[in-house]
Structure 1
């Protein structure tokens, strides 16, 4: 059964097929030919044979209607010896059908599978082997700036999933990218990130989503708003909202591993100005100490 880990990278290619060329260039240094169109093509690699061969996705680059490159994309979650035979079929069939240079890009969620997938496939003919280009965690581009993230939101998501545990800036950049998308894509990509992350990285991501910076597009953020509203019904709307904001600030500081002194905690939790709390929420992802919030 297809899983989120398998389906989401394919969804990324459907939404923005040009990321295939970007990944080849950024992760592997593959020269990308001049082109004026990028589109998703049929992944059917069967060529009048009884056995069906179907790649997860195929992206074509063309110039003035002529194909200049094809990228066969496979999502591989575990070792599968049969792929050592089917992958060359995908490449050769697409090369013959589209009459252009064809590259195999394999995306692997874990490094063990990535190392296996990257082993050259000997074809038996002297001097002829296929060396798949494998995008594992180590090869996934590191996106840490808002500009990079806005230019390629899907790559920012892959970056956050691959590197978020050790580089929290990738999570901040990913959040910036998602905030530029429609609510539908925001929810889809956000759910993928939450599912893929664990531990402190997931806690940090959830704390980011609690910030009003991201306009409460995520379910996690809406949960915090609901908590604030519930308290507001019992104790006054303003007070309930303020407590929700204070909790979000403290949770994010904890997720980032930032120590909070009793004085700083008291200042945050005793603040009743929602404007001030919102300002701290917007800053909390970027400070190195709790005291910097108050500067």
Structure 2
């Protein structure tokens, strides 16, 4: 049965196929960035009643001119039958399209990634006729983004990494960095990766952390996933929503603090109280903008301190 984490692990390549080249270049495998990408049919069914379907299939032409097919499979557990299926996919696609085929397997746990990474020989022990060598992405080799600045430089890769590291002890810091990074890109794109992240986290403990971060609402008014709608509805039913404007200001004020904490900036109780007590939207937004680059919590109020200083005679 196909589940949401399974979908997110391969659909993210549909949203940004270049994530494939960037992820493996960092590991010394020199794939060029795509120049053009065509989404291909994923149905590999033969005329006989035998259905074979790859998760995601993309036709890529790199800026270096090389063209190939990228087959992406999301794998959440070991499956002894998968090697044969994958070998079939590669042979069938090469025969059908006459192009080289690269198989990428994306995993959410190290054990599955280790299993998927092992080459599989087909043939006799004396002479293997075919060797299957998937490229594997998972928690063992995807970078960990706990710095929002670095996460903002490649939001798709940061989203995939957050899914792969959903069971990591640093999952909370990883998700905080991703939330901040989402506020730096356009709302429509941010919505895609916010929802893919939610799907990919599945029922892991990190999923609740993600929901909590979404309720902080770092000015993520674009985020309208099922989880967010439910949380907002429950808040209204419990009498916690005290007016649309007030709720928006409180959410953004909380966002100022989350940004600082996600960036590792210490927040004294006095600053926390001042930020949460503020009801002026323009002031909160100015603090939020400074929080993205502040090195200390007091930097939020830098303009106010300058205004208080006497002008030079």
TM-score normalised over the length of structure 1: 0.73
Shift in alpha-carbon separation, 1:230–1:203, aligned structure 2, 3 A: closer
**Separation in structure 2 between the aligned mates of residue 15 and residue 253 of structure 1, nearest angstrom:** 29
Shift in alpha-carbon separation, 1:35–1:17, aligned structure 2, 3 A: closer
2:275 — aligned with what?
268
2:13 — aligned with what?
13
**Separation in structure 2 between the aligned mates of residue 130 and residue 260 of structure 1, nearest angstrom:** 52
**Separation in structure 2 between the aligned mates of residue 269 and residue 293 of structure 1, nearest angstrom:** 13
C-alpha displacement of 1:288:
5.2
**Separation in structure 1 between the aligned mates of residue 121 and residue 83 of structure 2, nearest angstrom:** 9
**Separation in structure 2 between the aligned mates of residue 35 and residue 246 of structure 1, nearest angstrom:** 40
**Separation in structure 2 between the aligned mates of residue 292 and residue 16 of structure 1, nearest angstrom:** 36
Q: Does structure 2 retain, via aligned residues, the 8 Å contact 1:18–1:39?
A: no
Equivalent residue of 1:37, what SS?
strand
What root-mean-square deviation, in Å, do the aligned CA atoms of Structure 1 and Structure 2 show?
A: 4.0
Q: Which moved more, 1:152-161 or 1:168-177?
A: 168-177
Q: Does structure 2 retain, via aligned residues, the 8 Å contact 1:60–1:67?
A: no
Residue of structure 1 aligned with 2:196, choices 192, 198, 203: 192
**Separation in structure 2 between the aligned mates of residue 37 and residue 158 of structure 1, nearest angstrom:** 21
What stretches of structure 2 of length at least 5 have no aligned partner? 303-313
Q: Deviations over 1:91-114 (max 9, x none)?
A: 111122222222111011222211
1:175 — aligned with what?
182
**Separation in structure 2 between the aligned mates of residue 31 and residue 262 of structure 1, nearest angstrom:** 49
Q: Does structure 2 retain, via aligned residues, the 8 Å contact 1:211–1:282?
A: no
1:217 — aligned with what?
222
Shift in alpha-carbon separation, 1:62–1:279, aligned structure 2, 3 A: closer
Where in structure 2 are the equivalents of 1:59-74 lying within 5 Å?
59-62=58-61, 68-74=67-73
Q: Deviations over 1:112-142 (max 9, x none)?
A: 2111111111112525421211111232255
How many residue pairs are counted as aligned between the two chains? 279
Equivalent residue of 2:99, what SS?
coil
Shift in alpha-carbon separation, 1:38–1:191, aligned structure 2, 3 A: closer
1:133 — aligned with what?
135
Where in structure 2 are the equivalents of 1:226-245 lying within 5 Å?
230-232=241-243, 242-245=249-252
C-alpha displacement of 1:272:
3.9
**Separation in structure 2 between the aligned mates of residue 168 and residue 287 of structure 1, nearest angstrom:** 20
Equivalent residue of 1:276, what SS?
helix
Q: Does structure 2 retain, via aligned residues, the 8 Å contact 1:79–1:113?
A: yes
What stretches of structure 1 of length at least 5 have no aligned partner? none
**Separation in structure 2 between the aligned mates of residue 200 and residue 283 of structure 1, nearest angstrom:** 28
